[in-house]
Amino acid sequence: MIRAKTIMTENVVTVKETASLNEAAKLMLNRHVSTLMVTRDSKPVAILTENSIIKGFAGKKAGKVKDVMSKNFFIINPDTSYAFIIKKLREEKIKLFPVIENGKLFGIITETDIVDATRDLTRFHQVMQEVILTVFGLVTAFFLFFFSPLGQSLRRSLA
């Protein structure tokens, strides 16, 4: 069974809640991410998305991460199943899953990670289907030959 630890991104980009929105935006640009985990003492306390930063700049009243960060996120552990993550994504529209181990941020699963894992599973299933079809084809060909007039005459000549 696939677990969170096998599909998560380990090097999570984090920001302090006291950082400015400008610093957070530059961090997102430099690290090519759309979400930052806001941490305090290596523990996640909130998330900061591109939309949060845009709202902060548009409102012009928020200058710090703590003014626009969202404390509403769903924590999972490294052994959480892929099926559970997919269920939460579908039913509750959760798009970001911080992975916590021993109270500390261990990794993160984003929609991109889920899409990549789904693509890999689909590719694996396609390969398995091709293998099964090949084996089935070979077995079918063997039996068709074995019971054909040519196969019967060959068996008689060998016996």
Show the tokens assigned to 157: 């000549």
Nearest to 20 by CA among 64, 70, 69, 68: 64
Using a pLDDT cut of 70, give the percent of the chain over it.
Answer: 97
pTM value? Answer: 0.69
Which alpha helices (H) appear in the chain, and where do they start and end? 4-7, 21-31, 50-59, 65-68, 82-92, 111-146, 149-158
Q: Which CATH superfamily is domain 4-115 in?
A: CBS-domain (3.10.580.10)
**Pair 45, 103: CB distance under 8 Å:** no
Q: Would you list the domain boundaries of the chain?
A: 4-115, 122-158
β pairing state of 43-49 and 35-40: antiparallel
Q: How far apart are CA 97 and CA 35, in angstroms?
A: 11
In the prediction, which pLDDT does 93 show?
A: 82
- Work out the mean pLDDT of the chain and round it to a whole number: 87
The per-residue pLDDT for range 15-69, each reduced to its tens digit, is 999 999 999 999 999 999 989 999 888 788 999 989 888 888 887 666 889 989 9
What Cα–Cα distance (Å) separates residue 98 from each residue in 120, 144, 150?
A: 21, 56, 65
